[in-house]
Amino acid sequence: MRKTVEETEKTRRLLVECATRRFILEGFSATKLEDIAADAGLTRGAFYWHFKNKQAIFRAIIEENSKEALKLVARYLENDHDPAERIKDFVRHLLGDRHRKNHQVFVLIRLKQQPPSGLANMDDQIPSVEEIVVPALEDTIKEGKQMGIFGAALDAAFSAKCIYTFFWGFFVNYDSLYKDYTDEQLIQQINGFLSQLLGIKTTW
């Protein structure tokens, strides 16, 4: 019996989730297609019905993460709050999201500069999270400067990159560097960092 569109999409998402976990644990090269399929309760042949090869499913992971980044930006950096509150909302979401391990796929492949073979031109075709989030942060900071919320001398582009870079490091190193902090301590320290960076005088 032919699968419905909904069933096909559900299976595809399951394969992406299983591949993401495998790439995180084993890296791209060591991950086997049959293991991804087995994790999803499928055969290797069923995997090929959805994805041409391992590069294709990795590309799908990047696409999914980019879509999630777009949703995050739209939700927290394009709402009706003032610019400072938008950034605070953005930060609170990231703090609550810190246990998600999908971000470590980017660590394995992007930050360590170990691109899988066959994906050398991937960045020319798929926007990275950086390309989505940093401009949105920069626009928000510029708006805050115009409203007098942030200092006039604040470098919006540099500050946006600092926030983005900080949170990449936070996600990447949470288990090794930040696990001994309580949630309250993390919030206090991160709020202090961003308050000094952006010149926000109020306590978050």
Task: Please report which helix (H) or strand (E) contains residue 48, including its range.
Answer: helix 44-50
What span, in angstroms and rounded, lies between the C-alpha atoms of 204 and 195? 8
Contact 93, 79 (CB under 8 A): no
What span, in angstroms and rounded, lies between the C-alpha atoms of 146 and 134? 18
* Residue 35: per-residue pLDDT: 95
- The pTM of the full predicted model, rounded to 2 decimals, is 0.72
What span, in angstroms and rounded, lies between the C-alpha atoms of 128 and 67? 10
Phi/psi zone of residue 150: left (φ > 0), alpha (ψ -120 to 50 degrees), beta?
beta
* Residue 105: per-residue pLDDT: 58
- pLDDT tier at 154, thresholds 50, 70, 90: very high
Q: pLDDT digit string (tens) for 10-57?
A: 999 999 989 988 887 787 888 899 999 999 999 999 999 999 998 889
What span, in angstroms and rounded, lies between the C-alpha atoms of 195 and 179? 23
The residues, ordered by sequence, that sit 6+ positions from 62 with a Cβ below 8 Å of its Cβ are: 105, 122, 126, 128
Average pLDDT of the residues in 155-183: 85
* Residue 42: per-residue pLDDT: 94
- pLDDT tier at 67, thresholds 50, 70, 90: confident
| 158 vs 103, higher pLDDT | 158
* Residue 104: per-residue pLDDT: 58
* Residue 50: per-residue pLDDT: 93
What span, in angstroms and rounded, lies between the C-alpha atoms of 187 and 120? 38
* Residue 28: per-residue pLDDT: 80
Q: What is the DSSP letter of 74?
A: H
Q: pLDDT digit string (tens) for 74-98?
A: 888 888 899 999 998 888 887 777 6
Question: Angle of helix 129-146 relative to helix 156-173, nearest 10 degrees?
Answer: 130
What span, in angstroms and rounded, lies between the C-alpha atoms of 87 and 139? 11
Do 1-51 and 63-198 come out as alike in CATH topology?
A: no
Average pLDDT of the residues in 191-200: 87
Identify the burial level of 76 via C-beta atoms within 10 angstroms of its C-beta, where 0-12 means exposed, 13-18 middle and 19 or more buried: buried
* Residue 121: per-residue pLDDT: 62
Q: What is the dihedral of CA 118, 119, 125, 128, to 10 degrees?
A: 170
Domain spanning 63-198 has what CATH number?
A: 1.10.357
Whether the pLDDT of residue 160 is over 90: the answer is yes
Q: pLDDT digit string (tens) for 92-150?
A: 887 777 655 555 555 555 544 455 666 666 655 566 778 888 999 999 999 999 999 99
Domain boundaries, the chain: 1-51, 63-198
Domain spanning 1-51 has what CATH number?
A: 1.10.10.60
